[in-house]
Chain A
């Protein structure tokens, strides 16, 4: 898989550049559409690098063969976190066309929330802190001493920053709606995406390693499904208009179909990973990882785009392709083919 990507790096960069140019051209005619599409692509792809950084922190704390096996890919993905500041700057510039509260202070539930929290200055200021922390966690060199203490601090900081980022960057797209488990769902989604992505790219050496990684993917997938379902169950059970609205908007206009596909993909991955034989097989695990990534992508689409009335299909597709291809291509510059010494088994 890695070798395939290494060979395709040039193609990826070319495709990414073409898509970026097309998106930029589109932005001339429909700025709002392009900005909305870009936000979606940003939320999709960002999950993998920051999730990789979190997985590395977890591995530093707990140890385990899975982490040693995946570390090369995780490290390369994590190193690209700062790259995502570029699309984010465009999102801030286009905030008025993306976030309802940025254009209209009365879009929030309470006046004091618009004044004290949901406004463009506050948003930018908090983003500055989040990016500083994330660059520190993901890309800053670290002293070898007290490695595990740093990992613990890194995880705690991630927990705080993702709680803010999840509210600011995606939950606030529906400013009157709130769910207390939203940040937790976002965090586990990021970790799951990174794990599946790394499992897809890293050729695993032994059956035992593959089984560990596959087991972790299974656990993460179940965690994501569990949190998402509990959020739904509580809101369904309560059936209060201002909470249920969010789901109502996501069953009409074919959106239920998108989430249905996400659930199907997730269920297929679950069924594959349930079998021990499959968890020991690199091929089956890779297939499951693809299904997990597809499920997460569709679920993100279902969560985000119904709250982006200005989003246009062309912009969503172009931005996703552009950001994805450029990011994988660039990350490949650092990473692929995998550095042998980092594998720890030569």
Chain B
């Protein structure tokens, strides 16, 4: 009994290996730190230039928006939320998995997180920062967004505290600040390793400054662990409150199909679902590009596929609950919206969404699918698409088919909607491409801990044998 407590790594119930048996502290550090010091290859430069071009598209789309106003988008007087809010919810959802992987998996002692938590946290940070842009962009007068802030002022402006839109501001701002701190805290020991390995004076100075004088003494580790655990424990309520507020942005409106009590938790699960899908989507190219096959193993993809499977079942149950209860005790408008979802203007997209989010992930019941890298990569991308469609359709179905039949109208995006979506995707990838060259994409010190736990376990086995 005490054995399992002492070696949480042994908790992996399948006995799956998340590390090669011959991994040593030295080999781990060398392999993970290599991409930071090695010269960039053609793969990296291609990715850098392509994503840089897309980032320019984003900047241009935003500039044109500021010059011309939201009229360049497909939104109209009825469907007032279009791609912008869809993108906001989608990006903030993706921004969830990093903190979730880091905190929940840490608290539940799922040590396999060590290989994926670093880049998942970076993903969180970039995605949350991009998400934060959209609510501001979609304002007709974006330069007045600071009116949401309760700043001391002479106009006696005071935000409406009962509005989730105000809570949103606080939720996003605290989330971004927290994600940055959490990510940076986990990075400190690795920055010190990089400082010690840097061969240039400049590298030593920069990594040294950011490592905050980390020496890896027992006392420092003790403080570090206590602090990191406390942050992880704070992260869970934070991440849940953030996505609940996003859900409340809809649920607090009185529109048919939005006034759902399940929206706050359902947005949390949806965010976790799309976030994990994005982690898988990123893990595959990172593993290939940085040659990290040793550290991101099929066992990791297997574990993430199971989480995706669970997410898809909960999503499916939530959709079914919404349809059923709209019929069971909804008012006329709610029944009509549900009918419209399943058979109205956007029905093909809705069925496609159900296929991607609910039906396809059921393939993960089979171990063969979970172990096939191409299958899990393809399904993860489709889940990302499905979750984007879901957020789009939550907005479109309700706003296109609300209470007043006279105001039923369809929505069609313009080229600027697409440009901004594509541009932010490019910008996100651009940040990621820079990230993998600047700091280790996998947490070295946590992988070393994993190796330590694994070695101790094997020693025990040897003694028993």
Q: Least Cβ distance of B42 to chain A in Å? A: 43
Question: Which residue on chain B has the smallest CB distance to residue A153?
Answer: B365
Rounded to whole angstroms, the CA-CA distance of A13 and B291 in the bound complex is 66
B322 in contact with A117 (CB, 8 Å): no
- Given A159-B317, A227-B265; A180-B13 close (CB under 8 Å): no
Q: Least Cβ distance of B372 to chain A in Å? A: 18
B217 within 8 Å of A (CB atoms):
no
Rounded to whole angstroms, the CA-CA distance of A215 and B2 in the bound complex is 18
Interface residues on A, range: 35 or more
B265 in contact with A113 (CB, 8 Å): no
List B contacts of A113 (CB < 8 A): 327-329
A148 within 8 Å of B (CB atoms):
yes
Question: Which residue on chain A has the smallest CB distance to residue B107?
Answer: A215
A65 in contact with B1 (CB, 8 Å): yes
* Number of B residues with CB within 8 Å of any CB on chain A: 42
A233 in contact with B259 (CB, 8 Å): no
Which residues between 2 and 59 of chain A lie within 8 Å of chain B, taking CB atoms?
none
Rounded to whole angstroms, the CA-CA distance of A181 and B264 in the bound complex is 9
Cβ contact of A230, chosen from B107, B265, B321, cutoff 8 A: B265
Q: Least Cβ distance of B287 to chain A in Å? A: 25
A152 in contact with B1 (CB, 8 Å): no
A281 within 8 Å of B (CB atoms):
no
A234 in contact with B252 (CB, 8 Å): yes
A234 in contact with B251 (CB, 8 Å): yes
Cβ contact of A184, chosen from B162, B244, B262, B320, cutoff 8 A: B262
Cβ contact of A156, chosen from B2, B244, B313, B328, cutoff 8 A: B313
A148 in contact with B1 (CB, 8 Å): no
Rounded to whole angstroms, the CA-CA distance of A215 and B324 in the bound complex is 35
Question: Which residue on chain A has the smallest CB distance to residue B335?
Answer: A110
Question: Which residue on chain A has the smallest CB distance to residue B10?
Answer: A63
A237 in contact with B262 (CB, 8 Å): no
B254 in contact with A178 (CB, 8 Å): no
A238 in contact with B328 (CB, 8 Å): no
B414 within 8 Å of A (CB atoms):
no
B5 in contact with A230 (CB, 8 Å): no
Cβ contact of A180, chosen from B2, B5, B107, B322, cutoff 8 A: B322
- Could you tell me which A residues sit within 8 Å of B by CB distance? 61-65, 68, 108-110, 113, 117, 148-149, 152, 156, 159-160, 163, 167, 175-184, 205-206, 208-209, 215, 222, 226-227, 230-231, 233-235, 237-238, 240, 242-243, 344-345
- Could you tell me which B residues sit within 8 Å of A by CB distance? 1-2, 4-5, 11-14, 107-109, 162, 237, 240, 244, 248, 251-252, 254, 259-265, 309, 313-314, 317-318, 320-322, 324-325, 327-331, 365
Q: Can you report 12 A-B residue pairs in the complex whose CB atoms are below 8 A from each other?
A: A62-B13, A64-B11, A65-B5, A159-B317, A163-B321, A180-B322, A181-B261, A184-B265, A222-B237, A230-B244, A231-B261, A234-B252
The 8 closest A-B pairs by CB, nearest first: A180-B262, A178-B329, A63-B13, A181-B262, A231-B261, A230-B264, A181-B261, A208-B5
